[in-house]
Amino acid sequence: ETAALFNPHHNQELAIGFKEAFNQPVYALRIGGNDLFAALRLRRPKDNVVYDTPIGTLAYQLLGCFVPHGFYLSAPVFEYLDQPTLFMQELTRDVSLGLVGKTVIHPSQIALVQQAYCVPLSMLDEAQAILHSEAKAVFKYNNTMLEPATHRAWAHEVVNRAEVFGTINDGNSDYKPRL
């Protein structure tokens, strides 16, 4: 959460240092958006998601630096309580980037975060097909090419997210409830 995070070389060294220094698991590293805005002498704009700001550029860099070293990142706080539509847009981006959570500042934000992290049944369906023991090396499923060798880590993350946040019917699933 300091100005040093704007230096990619520093971040690479930090990721390696964290990986070597901790004997216990580090569950997630939090992107401190407001502190990073402060380092730039800025305040988060009220009408944009964080990813449309300089902090968004940094968030992409942090993902590319820390995730390959086994770390999970948590999304920056959203401070405008009167902007639920913009909050949901940002949450959608948080989820699509693989961020594992969102710091909330008000109880009204909790349900929206939980909703955003629910896994669409069609996505869970694809993840389970990828993880199936008899999955082919490359196959078509729901009009999508799936390749277990490259999609396996994603599929595990989707299944884990579904276990924590549940699922939502998106109408695009071949999902059949097990009786």
CATH of the domain at 33: 3.20.20.60
Please check whether residues 132 and 101 belong to one and the same domain.
no
Query: What is the domain count for the chain?
Result: 2
Angstrom distances, CA of residue 42 to CA of 38, 55, 79 = 5, 10, 14
In a domain? residue 176: no
| Integer Cα distance of 9 and 86 in angstroms | 33
Instruction: For residue 75, name the pLDDT band (cuts at 50, 70, 90).
Output: very high
pLDDT at 19: 86
Q: Kindly state whether residue 44 falls inside one of the protein's structural domains.
A: yes
**52 found inside a domain:** yes
Residue range 108-134, pLDDT digits in tens: 999 999 999 999 999 999 999 999 999
**Alpha helix locations (H) across the chain?**
8-21, 33-39, 54-66, 84-96, 110-117, 121-131, 148-165
pLDDT band at 171 (very low <50, low <70, confident <90, very high): confident
Range of the structural domain that residue 25 is part of: 3-106
In a domain, 7, yes or no: yes
- pLDDT for 73 equals 95
